[in-house]
Amino acid sequence: MRTQAIRIRAHGGPEVLERTEVEVGEPGPGEVRIRQSAIGLNFADIYQRRGSHGPHAATVFPVVLGAQGAGVIDAVGPGVQAPLHTGQSVAYFHPGAYQAVRNVPAQRVVPLPPGISEEVAGATLLRGLTAEYLLRRLHAVKPGEAVLVHAAAGGMGVILSQWARALGATVIGTVGSEAKMDVARAHGCHHVVNYRTEDFVARTLEFTGGKGVSVVYDAVGKDVFLPSLDCLRPLGMAINYGTASGDVEAFDLQRLHAKSLSVSRPTLRTFIADPADLRRGAAALFDVVLGGQVKLAVGHRYALADVRRAHEDLENRATTGAVVLVP
C-alpha cells in the first residue's frame, strides 16, 4: 500500500521537510504493521533535521524523521507472539515515525493498557521513558532531595517535575516567561524561576538554604550548563540530556573538583536498547500515570501535513507540553 510520509533529503531548516508517499508492504518476520493515529514531535527531531544530534554515522538520505508513535496493529508478521495481535492499541519507539502507516519491529512495541490513550502515548512515550531512566536509574531520586528542572514548562519538564515530586523531591523549575511559570507550578514544581528576569543560581541556593540541589536536569544546554554546576550540592550530578540553546562546549574539569561533582550526557536509546528495559520503563511510566501521580496531556496538535509549522513552533519555544502530529 502507499502511505503519506515526511522525509528530508538534506539537513537544514523546516524547509527541508517534504511531503511524499512511500510503499508499505506486509510486515516481515518479527514485525507488526501499525496504522498510526498519533506521532510524537520531540526536540530530538529538530536535532536530526539539523544534523546536530550528536556523534553519528554519515546520514543516508532520504530520511523519514521521528522515533515514536501510536496506533492500531493492522497486520502481524511471522514469529510475532502474544501479547501483540491485530486490532491492538500500541505505542512504539523506533526511527522513521513520520508516516501514516509503517512496519515496526515487535520488540520496540508496547501494548497500551486501558486508560492510556493512543494520542497521549504517541505524544509522550519518548519523554516518559526518558523521565523514567533520568529519575529512577541514572540518578535515583530519593525523598527529601532537592532537584532543579530546566525548561520546566516544556514537554519533558512537566513530566520530570511531576514524577520527581511524586518521588518525594522538592522540585525547583526554571522557565523563560511569566506565562510558563503557572504551567510549571501546575505540574509539580514547588518553586519556579523565570531565568530571563532572575538569577536562577541565586534563587536555587535561596530555596535550598544555601545547600544546593542533588541533581540538575538540563535540556537547554549551552546557556545554562555552567551556571547549573553552581546550583549543585557536594556529590551532586548535572545531567545534560538536551541542547535546545546549543551544544555544551569544552569546560574546565576543575569546576567539578571542589564539590566532587559528576556530569552526564546520556541518551535514551542506550537505556532501552534491551527490549526488557523498554518494557520495564514503559510499565513504570504507565503505573504512575494510571495512579494519578503524573498527568500526561497533549498541548498542541498539528496535521502531519503541517509538520513545517510544527517544527517552527517547537524550535521557537512557542509550545507548552507535548506536541503530536496527526496523520
Listed by start position, the domains of the chain span 2-126+279-326, 143-265
Backbone angles phi, psi at 262, to 5 degrees: -120, 150
Q: Which three cell numbers stand for residue 186?
A: 501546575
CA dihedral for 285, 115, 153, 144, sign (positive or negative): negative
Q: Which of 285, 291, 290 is nearest to 272 (CA)?
A: 285
What is the tens place of the pLDDT at every residue in 1-27? Answer: 999 999 999 999 999 999 999 999 999
Report pTM: 0.91
Kindly calculate the radius of gyration of the chain based on its CA atoms and give it in whole angstroms: 20
In this structure, CATH architecture of domain 2-126+279-326: Alpha-Beta Complex (3.90)
Amino acid 53: pLDDT: 61
- Helix, strand, coil percent content, the chain, rounded in steps of 5: 30, 30, 40
Taking Cα atoms as reference points, which of 167, 124, 91 lies closest to residue 298?
A: 124
The residue type at 106? A
| Number of other CB atoms surrounding residue 297 within 10 Å | 12
For 233, half-sphere exposure in the C-beta direction (CA atoms, 13 angstrom radius) is 16
Contact between 36 and 64 (Cβ < 8 Å): no
The one-character DSSP state at 88 is -
Q: What topology is assigned to 143-265 in CATH?
A: Rossmann fold (3.40.50)
Q: Tell me the pLDDT of the chain (327 aa) as tens digits.
A: 999 999 999 999 999 999 999 999 999 999 999 999 999 998 889 989 999 865 556 789 999 999 999 999 999 999 999 899 999 999 999 999 999 999 999 999 999 999 999 999 999 999 999 999 999 999 999 999 999 999 999 889 999 999 999 999 999 999 999 999 999 999 999 999 999 999 999 999 999 999 999 999 999 999 999 999 999 999 999 999 988 788 888 899 999 999 999 999 999 999 999 999 999 999 999 999 999 999 998 989 999 999 999 999 999 878 877 899 999
Looking at residue 258, its pLDDT comes to 96
Give me the pLDDT at residue 214, please.
98
All three cell numbers of 302: 498539528
C-alpha cell at 171: 522540585
In degrees rounded to 5, what are phi and psi of residue 124? -125, 0
User: Angle CA(233)–CA(234)–CA(240) in degrees, nearest 5?
Assistant: 65
Going by the DSSP 8-state scheme, the letter that residue 251 receives in this structure is: -
Q: How many helices (H) and strands (E) does the chain have?
A: 9, 16
Q: ∠ at Cα 143 (137, 146), nearest 5°?
A: 85
